[in-house]
A and B are shown apart, each in its own frame.
Chain A
Amino acid sequence: MDRTGTAVEGVARAGAVEMSGAQMVIRALKDQGVKHIFGYPGGAVLPIYDALFADDEIVHVLCRHEQGATHAAEGYARSTGKPGVVLVTSGPGATNAVTGLTDALMDSIPLVVLTGQVATHLIGNDAFQECDTVGITRPCTKHNWLVKDVNALAHTIHEAFQIATTGRPGPVVVDIPKDVQFKKGGYVGPASIRHRTYRPKTDPELGQVVKAIDLMANAKRPVFYTGGGIVNSGPEASALLRELVKLAGFPITSTLMGLGAYPASDPQWLGMLGMHGTYEANKAMHDCDVMICLGARFDDRVTGRIDAFAPEAKKIHLDIDASQINKNVRVDVAIVADAGKTLKEMLHFWKTQKRKVDAAALAAWWKQIEQWRGKNSLAFKNSDKLIKPQHAIDRLYALTKGRDVYITTEVGQHQMWAAQRFKFEEPNRWMTSGGLGTMGYGLPAALGVQMAHPGSLVIDIAGEASVQMTMQEMSTAVQYELPIKIFILNNQYMGMVRQWQQLLHGGRYSHSYSEALPDFVKLAEAFGAVGLRAESPRELDAKIMEMIEVKKPVLFDVRVDPKENCYPMIPSGAAHDEMILSDAEEESAQVSEEGKMLV
């Protein structure tokens, strides 16, 4: 039944235009509206690169590593709402793309990755640069295909775009053997697509929507908890969310992936929730009586200890993916649908049924929240000698405010500080690796963002450890004149690892200190980029301005306090109301044995 050996079959269709498989790839990309692709050539994709050579519409960005190409495509996709497209060769080309594929799967980013494969008659023979690409990428894609028949190629590529971009978005792989790229067959356009089984459900059940607004109208201590699903649904969903939140007057918090869907400057905004979320956001989540979860998935970084998560709350959960419902947390009202469509219906029923909130209860709830806010949980002790990393981000925010800014990050303390302190007003402005936590994501992601938005200010808030993982992509930035700004909070440690070792492992800093770091200024110069360094708070502002003004890629080495910790923090295995707010509290914090087992 598992018809291995036949793979995707196709038939020559009437009216199809004859061309080579390689030409079909280029034609299909153009018919899908693709303007930019990120890739790296190799033996098994040479025919496609040859077809690309003959084409002058699609811009190919030559990355320095296939992982870089996938993250660049992710940044491109996240900042535009369009799919990111990657072209790589067989074997190592495909295996190097696996981290980006997994990252995109975890964060629901639409990617179409085309991989070369050895010729069909060599498959299974351990040929040079052969690997089982569909086997390796099966668990890290939304779907994948091996196309063994040139007459199935065009149809498969169109299907790949459809699956990557609809429903819950995600990465797909189309594996194309080299002989299929050479063979001639019939090309069909995107209109030919009607998938046999794939029917993502996007319209909400109205009965569930009414149940949801019933709960909202009767709530005494409500909170909106929103996620990346709002951003993925498109700018309209963010606009509708703002309208609903304003209309209801409820507080709102968001996951890491959802930042920007609701403006951070608004008084109803509580800041990010979760392990490094604000005190008020987590306390509101813990004490709420109605939780309205829109496009988020009750991730362990958000919930903390699951049996102590929002113990008194009735929970509404909207997700486009039915498998997220009741996965980590059992909910009371489930809506499986697109976020934008659901928000539209929620607003419709709220208005036409003239719903009112319990104003007195809500006023008392806000009073309580203001008290929590008064803790000022993101406060830190600044210094006039050492640059505090929080201060560096605050200055970066202040000096770029009002500009057309996109932020990417690597993974670790700097990422959390950026999420806490950089105020996002619009969706699609914040690109970060949430689910997989991929160090090395931010620099190539910034490339992709800059490619899509050439006139914008694109900044990677980085750590010195993460950024070295994909540093080679500076070369790509120089080649394509992409003036990305790499803002490195250099504390010489893998800061988050060091922080956990301090909290959980008795301060034994096993291999979390980088004994030898490159001179980032010289490194930038070696790449043909601009290097900057700031060592004292006094020079920080001027250097940030210099970074903004220079029209070239910049590596900015910001030497920060090496021992600063990221607070607030819910230690693993603890509940939302067991936050650590400072170093002083951390010393007395007890982490349970079960908690130590968690990541």
Chain B
Amino acid sequence: MSAAAKSPSIERHTIAVLVDNEAGVLARVIGLFAGRGYNIESLTVAEVDHAAHTSRITIVTSGTPEVIEQIEAQLGRLVPVHRVVNWTTAKPGIEREMALVKVSGTGERRVEALRLADAFRARVIDTTHASFVFEITGNPDKIDAFIDLMRPLGLADVSRTGVAAISRGPEPM
């Protein structure tokens, strides 16, 4: 037994899964996580190649290194899975998430919200005299920080897409 086997360190990993776009494939992936007690922090999914009939699922998960290794292996075992890549360990990856953030309020708080949004390069996509809806894109930490700042300024609603990820450099997945 290595010392690592006892290590309780929890790590956050972003895993991309290229799957055949067939009926029930998302249920297989989610069922695997639920059935084996793995965490899902976020999950995004969409068809990425209509002609090739493939979809890409990006999962942000957390666990010990042993659990992460199991997650990758278990995903690889599913029949409709083409590839599994861990952007946290296998290749340097870039992560982006988009959020729509609604802030309600008037007066100085409204002005402050707009000023902060500008600093975060968030765009205003809906405005009333008493509210803004901001669109913000970035890595999940940046979005967390923005939402925290909006909280005292009248944060009313948040919708996040979950993480999309891709590798740096010229190589595909």
Checking B47, B66, B70 against A1 with a beta-carbon cut-off of 8 angstroms, the contacting residue is: B47
- Whether the Cβ atoms of B24 and A198 lie closer than 8 Å is no
Task: Assess whether A4 is in contact with B70, with CB atoms less than 8 Å apart.
Answer: no
For chain A residues 121-138, which have a beta carbon within 8 Å of chain B?
A: 134-135, 138
Nearest CB in chain B: distance from A571 CB, A: 21
Cβ-defined contact, B22 with A3, below 8 A: yes
Instruction: State the Cβ distance, B46 to closest chain A Cβ, in Å.
Output: 6
Q: Give every chain A residue within 8 A of B55 (Cβ-Cβ).
A: 1
Contact A323-B77, Cβ < 8 Å, known A330-B4, A330-B5:
yes
Q: Provide the bound-state CA to CA distance between A5 and B28, in Å.
A: 16
Nearest chain A CB to B87 CB, angstrom units: 20
Stretch binding the partner chain, chosen from A37-45, A139-147, A218-226, A366-374: A139-147
B6 within 8 A of A: yes
Does any Cβ of B come within 8 Å of A361's Cβ? no
A566 to chain B, nearest CB (A): 29
Task: Tell me, in angstroms, the Cα distance from A22 to B19 when the chains sit together.
Answer: 31
Q: Mark A322-366, 1 if CB is under 8 A from B, else 0.
A: 110111011000000000000000000000000000000000000
Query: Is the beta-carbon distance between B23 and A138 smaller than 8 angstroms?
Result: no
Collect the chain A residues with CB atoms within 8 Å of residue B24's CB: 2, 4, 134-135, 138, 146
B95: Cβ under 8 A from any A Cβ: no
B116 at interface by CB-CB < 8 Å: no
- Bound together, the chains give a CA A138 to CA B26 distance in angstroms of 12
Asked if residues B27 and A135 are in contact (CB atoms below 8 Å), the reply is yes
Residues of A within 8 A of B74 (CB): 323
| B46 touches which of A1, A7, A309, A323 (Cβ 8 Å) | A1
Are A3 and B23 in contact, CB atoms less than 8 angstroms apart? Answer: yes
Residue contact A163 to B79, C-beta cutoff 8 Å: yes
Interface size on A, residues (CB 8 A): 32
CB distance from B4 to the nearest CB of A (A): 7
Q: Which residues of B contact A135 (CB under 8 A)?
A: 24, 27
Tell me whether A8 is interfacial, beta carbon within 8 Å: yes
Query: Is there contact, CB below 8 Å, between A198 and B1?
Result: no
In Å, the complex CA distance between A196 and B81 comes to: 9
Residue interface mask B32-57, A partner, CB < 8 A = 1:
00010000000001110000010100
What A residues does B70 contact at CB under 8 A? 323, 326-327
CB contact between B21 and one of A3, A139, A306 (< 8 Å): that residue: A3
Least CB separation from A146: chain B residue: B23
Residue of B nearest to A199 (CB): B82
Asked if B23 contacts A330 (CB within 8 A), the reply is no
A326 CB contact (under 8 Å) in B25, B27, B66: B66
Complex-state Cα separation, A2 to B4, whole angstroms: 38
A311 proximal to B (CB < 8 A): yes
Q: Are B27 and A197 in contact (CB under 8 A)?
A: no
CA distance A163 to B73 in the complex (A): 18
A198 to B55, CA, bound (A): 16
Within the complex, the shortest CB–CB distance from B55 to chain A, in Å, comes to 5
Say yes or no: is A103 at the interface (Cβ < 8 Å to chain B).
no
Whether, in the assembled complex, B31 has its beta carbon less than 8 Å from a beta carbon of chain A, the answer is: yes
Is B157 on the interface with A (CB-CB < 8 A)?
Answer: no
- Name the residue on B nearest A332 (C-beta): B2
Contact A309 B79 (CB under 8 A): no
Mark contacts of A391-422 with chain B using CB atoms, 8 A cut-off: 1 yes-contact digit, 0 otherwise: 00000000000000000000000000000000
- The 26 listed contacts between A and B (C-beta, < 8 Å) are A2-B24, A2-B27, A2-B45, A3-B22, A4-B24, A5-B23, A7-B23, A134-B24, A138-B27, A138-B28, A138-B31, A163-B79, A197-B19, A197-B79, A197-B81, A307-B1, A322-B76, A323-B70, A323-B74, A323-B76, A325-B73, A326-B70, A327-B70, A327-B73, A330-B5, A330-B66
Please list the residues of chain A having a beta carbon within 8 angstroms of any beta carbon in chain B.
Answer: 1-8, 134-135, 138-139, 142-143, 146, 163, 195-198, 306-307, 309, 311, 321-323, 325-327, 329-330
Nearest first, the 8 closest Cβ-Cβ pairs linking A and B are A323-B73, A2-B26, A143-B79, A1-B55, A7-B23, A322-B73, A323-B74, A1-B47
